Structures are given as structure tokens and as C-alpha cells.
């Protein structure tokens, strides 16, 4: 009997998937619910579990794009295929019986016999679309004793960082090293119950190994024939002569007692270069002329493995550039009115609301008003459909120690200035600590990024897919501008709106940015709703 495995429904708006990779080969035996492949949509990566036990027969190959509901493989459920064969089970028993015999011959930390059963810790399922994690750091060392539920490692996915608690008390045996990328379900470490017995056994093994090492070193350093510690060692006078003439002591044959290099040996060693052919100086001169001058500074290189977060950000940015008709429109805003309000009310604002009054709350509030008036800027494309949102979930780009993250302020249109500021502070703190959850970073409808905190004067920010627009803030610069026919020095900021021209027309993008400018230059409009 053969079971057809089809592409499951993985999302309301997803009509096709790409086979990222097969985790099993054609003809392999698979178990029920075992992950056999990874499917990739335009939004996330999904695992494909086997729907039955049997022999896998692959239909669609890696890299193929398959519609939802199409057959991608078959699983043969014949009797021999669905159950492990008797020989295999018979072979497993002797292997297990022979395993304990190995520690007696060579006691090590990994094979020390301890009362209880060893617990294998594997990568847990940390999110529907996450297929692998990177070991950011081990908080415990190999061989350390750990307690039940004690955090022993930090795991990093392309979206967030997770803590790994110990599943039992005992001695930690690390399998995957720091920096390794491990698939969901992959083995991370083992915990051997009990600690004292293992520690003693390890100590005895280490002591024996150290004694053996010392014995070998002692045998290697013992005199052999005429060789002693003095062999090849120059006397103080000989050493000075060799150093002055740039001769290595290993190139000189010592004639002194026990092979020591004497002063005479050093003096005679200088005569050897003179015996070289007369063409040597000419060759040296020619090489000096033809060889380019070398630099004297350090030329070190350092290679680091890209984190999962960095790889995902890179992939998504390239996708946006290739798959959207992205344009950017610019404007400038006079920040004096907002700066005057902050200077006048910031102390009272903080006293009442227990949070500082920053620029981000004004920009977020202005954007929510403008998004209501120009809904296409708050929309997104899904296949051949356009999805318009009657709410404003504003994504705020935050630079964290591990890279750029974009947490979301939900229903920002309903929040007051202090409510927005509190959310910004909360999310920014969690981003710096690496504690943002996946839910806090997904589902935004519009993004604001502030490059001005790093000194950027102007930029063209890249859209945060699947959104259709992003607002870029920049630094505030004192510039001369014309105000009512007079030149005045004002704090000015350039604004940039990058948008997807497939869904947002030029009229809508420019009008949106002009509306944001009006609201920021006359903040009373935000309070009066005009």
C-alpha cells in the first residue's frame, strides 16, 4: 500500500512552496511523524513530517516549486517497510551489549559508568517557521555538574534568542559546540545523572593520562649517546657573536663539551657565507630590484560565521530589492515646534507618566494619522490581492547587539504619546537583552527607522516585507531656511519614504509624506485631529 504525501495548507495566502531540502533520501525508511523535508514559502520555512512509517519515494526534487495540495512524495507501507526487520533488531542487541565493555579499557568523561540513565537533550521546537538554531553560548562547561531546570545554554534563531534549561541533574557532556548550527531535534548535549562518581572517575583518568604524558616526555628528554641539554647551546660569548651576525644557533655545529657551541665555532660560522659563489650578491641585488616593497603593518584577517539572524536579514533584503518596485520620495521637516514642546513639558511629562518624551512618539502618532488618510501606504500585496488594514501596527527598527530587529507596536493609532513611549522603551530594552519573542516581531503594517541616532543625514531605507512602505528619520541639523521671507536658522530633518510602486502611486506616497510633515510642524493638529 502506498500513501501519497501532498503539500499541506501552510497559510491562508500561500499557494505554493519550494522544496528547500530533503532530509531523507529516496528509498530511506522513515518513521511516523519523522521530519523528512523542509518546505519554503515566501514568508517562512516549514517542516514536513512523514504521515506514516515506510519506504520514502520522492516525487518532487529539491528546488522544485509545488502548488499546495500537489503530491511531493509517496510512502510505501508494505509489511517489510513498516516494521524494522528482525536482523536489524538482532544486530542492535550485540552492539548495545558490547558498548559497556569499552569504558574498562579506556575510562573517559563520555563513557564513565554512573548510576541512572543518560538524558539526551535535543533542540526543542521554538517556532512554527524555525528549522534550525545556532548555539550562541554555553553557560556551563563540559564536565560541569548542572541542576534540573538550570539554564545551561543560549540558542539563537533567525528571529530571537532562547534559553536552554537542563532536563535533569547530573554531569554535562557537550556534543554541539558554541557557534554550531543545529537543526530542530538535533542532539545538543547529554546529562549523566550523578556528579561525584563521574568527577572522581574523570580525575583518575586525567591523572593517569597526565602521568603517562610526563613519562613519555621524560623518556624523550633523556640523553641519547652524546646528546645532552648542552648540545647545540652557545656559550654567552658565542651567543653574542651569532646574534650580531644574524646566524641561527641551529645552523652551527658545536665542538665544545657535550656539543656546546664555543666562541671559536661562532667565529668560524661567519666564514661560511664568504665561501658562497660570487654570483650570490648579484642575484640578491636583482631580486631586490624586481621584488615590490613589502608593507610593515599588520595584515591579519578574521573569519566569523554569520548568525542565523544576519543570514535571514540578508536574504530578506535581497528578496525585497529583487521582487518589489521600490522607490523613495523625500521631504524635510522643521523640528522647532516639537523641540519647543519637549523643552517646555518634558520634565512634567516624565513626572506624570514616568517615561521620557522623545521624538519617536510624535513621528509614530503622525504616521498613524496619515496612514488612515492614505490606506494604500498601510496595505500589502498578497499574490494577486491587495490587503488593506484598518489598524496601524507600527514596526520600530532597533539595532541590537546581535543585529537589526523590528519589534511591533500593536494598534498604535489607539495609543497616546506616553503609551507609545512606554512601548518603545519596553521593546527596545527587550531587543538589547535578546528577549524579544517571535510574536513581538511579526505582523507589522508599516515601519519607522531612525538612522539619525547614528548621524545619518539622508538614506533610502529598504521596505520591511511584506509591508509596502517604510519611513526613514535622519539627524537634525541647524540650517538656514526662509521663514515668511526672512532667513532663519532652524533645526531641520530630512524624511525619506521608500514604497512599493506596485501598490502605492506617486500621488499617495508624496501626499502621505507631506501630511506627516504638516502634523510634525504643527503638533496641535495631532491633539485636535485636524
* Residues noted as catalytic: 501, 505
| Nearest-angstrom CA–CA distance, 221 and 229 | 8
> Per the structure block, which three cell numbers stand in for 34?
519523522
CA 190 to chain centre: 24
Residue 30 · residue 12 · CB < 8 Å = no
Q: Beta strands 446-450 and 469-473: pairing type?
A: parallel
Return the beta strands (E) in 151-308 as ranges.
151-156, 161-165, 170-174, 181-183, 187-192
Q: Which helix (H) or strand (E) holds 483?
A: strand 476-483
| Nearest-angstrom CA–CA distance, 369 and 525 | 10
Residue 45 · residue 23 · CB < 8 Å = no
Q: Which residues contact 443 (CB under 8 A, 6 or more apart)?
A: 393, 408
Residue 466 · residue 43 · CB < 8 Å = yes
| Nearest-angstrom CA–CA distance, 179 and 200 | 30
| Nearest-angstrom CA–CA distance, 61 and 76 | 18
Residue 25 · residue 16 · CB < 8 Å = no
Return the beta strands (E) in 335-400 as ranges.
380-382, 385-387, 394-396, 398-400
Residue 462 · residue 324 · CB < 8 Å = no
- CA dihedral (196, 198, 201, 204) positive or negative: negative
| Nearest-angstrom CA–CA distance, 427 and 201 | 48
Residue 382 · residue 466 · CB < 8 Å = yes
Amino acid at each position: 500500500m502506498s500513501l501519497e504525501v501532498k503539500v499541506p495548507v501552510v497559510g491562508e495566502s500561500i499557494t505554493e512552496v519550494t522544496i528547500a531540502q530533503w532530509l531523507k533520501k529516496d528509498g530511506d525508511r522513515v518513521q511516523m511523524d519523522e521530519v523528512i523535508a523542509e518546505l519554503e514559502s515566501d514568508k517562512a520555512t516549514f517542516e514536513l513530517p512523514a504521515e506514516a512509517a515506510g519506504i520514502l519515494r520522492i516525487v518532487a526534487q529539491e528546488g522544485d516549486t509545488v502548488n499546495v495540495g500537489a503530491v511531493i512524495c509517496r510512502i510505501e507501507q508494505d509489511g517489510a517497510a513498516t516494521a524494522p526487520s528482525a536482523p536489524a533488531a538482532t544486530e542492535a542487541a550485540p552492539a548495545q551489549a558490547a558498548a559497556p565493555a569499552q569504558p574498562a579499557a579506556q575510562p573517559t568523561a563520555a563513557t564513565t559508568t554512573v548510576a541512572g540513565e543518560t538524558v539526551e537533550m535535543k533542540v526543542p521546537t521554538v517556532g512554527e517557521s524555525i528549522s534550525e538554531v545556532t548555539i550562541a553560548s554555553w553557560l556551563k562547561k563540559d564536565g560541569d555538574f548542572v541542576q534540573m531546570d538550570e539554564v545551561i545554554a543560549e540558542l539563537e534563531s533567525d528571529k530571537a534568542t532562547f534559553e536552554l534549561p537542563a532536563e535533569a541533574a547530573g554531569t554535562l557532556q557537550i556534543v554541539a559546540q558554541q557557534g554550531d548550527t543545529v537543526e530542530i531535534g538535533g542532539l545538543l548535549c547529554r546529562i549523566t545523572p550523578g556528579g561525584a562518581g563521574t568527577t572522581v572517575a574523570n580525575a583518575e583518568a586525567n591523572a593517569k593520562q597526565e602521568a603517562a604524558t610526563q613519562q613519555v616526555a621524560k623518556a624523550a628528554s633523556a640523553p641519547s649517546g652524546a646528546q645532552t641539554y648542552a648540545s647545540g647551546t652557545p656559550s654567552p660569548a658565542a651567543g653574542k657573536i651569532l646574534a650580531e651576525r644574524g646566524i641561527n644557533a641551529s645552523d652551527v655545529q658545536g665542538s665544545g663539551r657535550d656539543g656546546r657551541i664555543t666562541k671559536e665555532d661562532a667565529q668560524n660560522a661567519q666564514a661560511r657565507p664568504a665561501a658562497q659563489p660570487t654570483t650570490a650578491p648579484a642575484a640578491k641585488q636583482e631580486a631586490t630590484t624586481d621584488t615590490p616593497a613589502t608593507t610593515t603593518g599588520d595584515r591579519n584577517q578574521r573569519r566569523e560565521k554569520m548568525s542565523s539572524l544576519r543570514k535571514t536579514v540578508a536574504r530578506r533584503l535581497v528578496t525585497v530589492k529583487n521582487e518589489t518596485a521600490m522607490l523613495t520620495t523625500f521631504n524635510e521637516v522643521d523640528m522647532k515646534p516639537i523641540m519647543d514642546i519637549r523643552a517646555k513639558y518634558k520634565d512634567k511629562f516624565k513626572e506624570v507618566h514616568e517615561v521620557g518624551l522623545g521624538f519617536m512618539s510624535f513621528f509614530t502618532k503622525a504616521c498613524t494619522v496619515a496612514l488612515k488618510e492614505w490606506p494604500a501606504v498601510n496595505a500589502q500585496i498578497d499574490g494577486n490581492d491587495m490587503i488593506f488594514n484598518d489598524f496601524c501596527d507600527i514596526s520600530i527598527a532597533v539595532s541590537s547587539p546581535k543585529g537589526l530587529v523590528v519589534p511591533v507596536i500593536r494598534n498604535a493609532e489607539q495609543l497616546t504619546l506616553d503609551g507609545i513611549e512606554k512601548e518603545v522603551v519596553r521593546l527596545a530594552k527587550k531587543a538589547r537583552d535578546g528577549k524579544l519573542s517571535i510574536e513581538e516581531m511579526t505582523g507589522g503594517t508599516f515601519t519607522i527607522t531612525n538612522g539619525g541616532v547614528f548621524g545619518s543625514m539622508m538614506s533610502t531605507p529598504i521596505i520591511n516585507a511584506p509591508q509596502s512602505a517604510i519611513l526613514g528619520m535622519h539627524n537634525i541639523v541647524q540650517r538656514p531656511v526662509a521663514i515668511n521671507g526672512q532667513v532663519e536658522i532652524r533645526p531641520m530633518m530630512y524624511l525619506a519614504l521608500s514604497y512599493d510602486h506596485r501598490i502605492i502611486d506617486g500621488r499617495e506616497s508624496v501626499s502621505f509624506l507631506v501630511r506627516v510633515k504638516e502634523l510634525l510642524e504643527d503638533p496641535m493638529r495631532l491633539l485636535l485631529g485636524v
